[in-house]
């Protein structure tokens, strides 16, 4: 690597890092989106790691700001940003531009590094898309404290009235989970429940079915271990909808975390009559999850108002429940009892 190329690599390495920091601060302070922050932190780590193959001393010794003919060249539009979103857009465009320059010039001395930078450049396009298209929805999910599963057979009263009361009690997200309905019936119910959620400013998730989530204009889909892959779900639904993934072991959790979903459920926390399992990973899986990622973690399984405090002490910021709310005599009060546990969190 000669000095001229080292100067180019140095300038664009710094430009890319600066762009990433601007994007991360947008996710952190403007969106308040922990999942977005997590994705950006991982990206920064991967970028820094791949650049370790380039001599830092060579870059520093090549730097010559005083004689840089482009240092003082600017255009008026570069000095103007109307709002924070324009700041993000500018940084998101600057990142792949810098990476493309690094990619091209590293071909002159390290083809393998150039290939790695190329993959990071494609990931940069996904980062831009995620923050601009899904960032606000992801931030809304992070603020959810009560996530309620709606399954008609487990409702003590009419399923529609149950959903209304759950929302009135403070549920921030409802998931439609119906295994017995045919496709037409499931789509009709999803559209109806989705409309109720939109009217009340509540997120709406469809269990298992990305196609139904798309057709009902749901906010996202929740995927189990045997469902469509997150990548295929994303292709089906597009970039603007949330994807949650179920996990039951630390191995499953870490595999899910590497897929960068919008949230990860962990459980069951306790024995559950709704969805019994031979193994109950319990609170230890929750503790591991909240310590390893900023992606929103959703504990699920056997959660009641009697044991929810155990989860809160272990780091839970939200819970997903089914029978404890929809099977209650007073659904609104049951939902409110859970939400109140998170006051001040």
Q: Which residues are catalytic?
A: 177, 246, 275
Which H/E stretch holds residue 203? strand 203-207
User: What angle in degrees, to the nearest 10, is found between the helix axes of 159-168 and 331-341?
Assistant: 30
Rounded Cα–Cα distance for residues 318 and 5 (Å)? 50
Q: Are 281 and 265 in contact (CB under 8 A)?
A: no
Q: Are 265 and 141 in contact (CB under 8 A)?
A: no
Closest CA to 142 of 25, 290, 251, 5: 290
Q: Are 159 and 152 in contact (CB under 8 A)?
A: yes
Question: Across the strands, what pairs with 148?
Answer: 174, 321
Rounded Cα–Cα distance for residues 111 and 188 (Å)? 53
Closest CA to 193 of 155, 157, 150, 158: 150
């Amino acid at each position: 690597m000669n000095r001229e190329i080292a100067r180019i690599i140095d300038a664009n390495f710094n430009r890319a890092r600066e762009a990433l920091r601007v994007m991360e601060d947008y996710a952190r302070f403007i969106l308040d989106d922990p999942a977005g922050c997590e994705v950006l932190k991982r990206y920064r780590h991967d970028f820094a790691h791949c650049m370790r193959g380039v001599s830092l001393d060579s870059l520093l010794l090549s730097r010559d700001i005083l004689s840089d003919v482009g240092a003082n060249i600017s255009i008026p539009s570069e000095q103007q940003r109307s709002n924070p979103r324009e700041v993000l857009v500018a940084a998101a465009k600057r990142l792949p531009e810098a990476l493309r320059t690094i990619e091209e010039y590293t071909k002159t001395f390290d083809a393998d590094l150039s290939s790695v930078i190329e993959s990071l450049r494609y990931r940069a396009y996904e980062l831009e898309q995620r923050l601009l298209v899904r960032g606000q929805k992801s931030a809304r999910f992070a603020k959810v404290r009560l996530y309620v599963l709606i399954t008609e057979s487990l409702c003590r009263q009419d399923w529609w009235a149950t959903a209304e009361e759950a929302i009135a009690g403070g549920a921030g997200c409802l998931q439609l989970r119906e295994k017995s309905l045919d496709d037409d019936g499931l789509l009709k119910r999803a559209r109806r429940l989705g409309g109720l959620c939109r009217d009340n400013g509540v997120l709406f998730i469809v269990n298992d079915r990305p196609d139904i989530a798309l057709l009902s204009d749901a906010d996202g889909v929740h995927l189990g271990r045997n469902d469509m892959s997150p990548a295929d779900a994303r292709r089906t639904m597009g970039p603007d909808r949330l994807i949650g993934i179920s996990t039951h072991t630390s191995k499953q959790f870490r595999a899910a975390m590497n897929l960068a979903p919008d949230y990860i459920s962990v459980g069951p926390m306790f024995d559950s009559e709704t969805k019994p399992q031979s193994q109950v990973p319990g609170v230890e899986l929750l503790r591991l999850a909240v310590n390893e990622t900023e992606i929103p973690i959703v504990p699920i399984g056997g959660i009641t108002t009697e044991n929810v405090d155990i989860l809160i002490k272990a780091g839970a910021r939200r819970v997903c429940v089914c029978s404890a709310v929809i099977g209650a005599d007073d659904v609104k009060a049951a939902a409110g009892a859970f939400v109140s546990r998170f006051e001040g969190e």
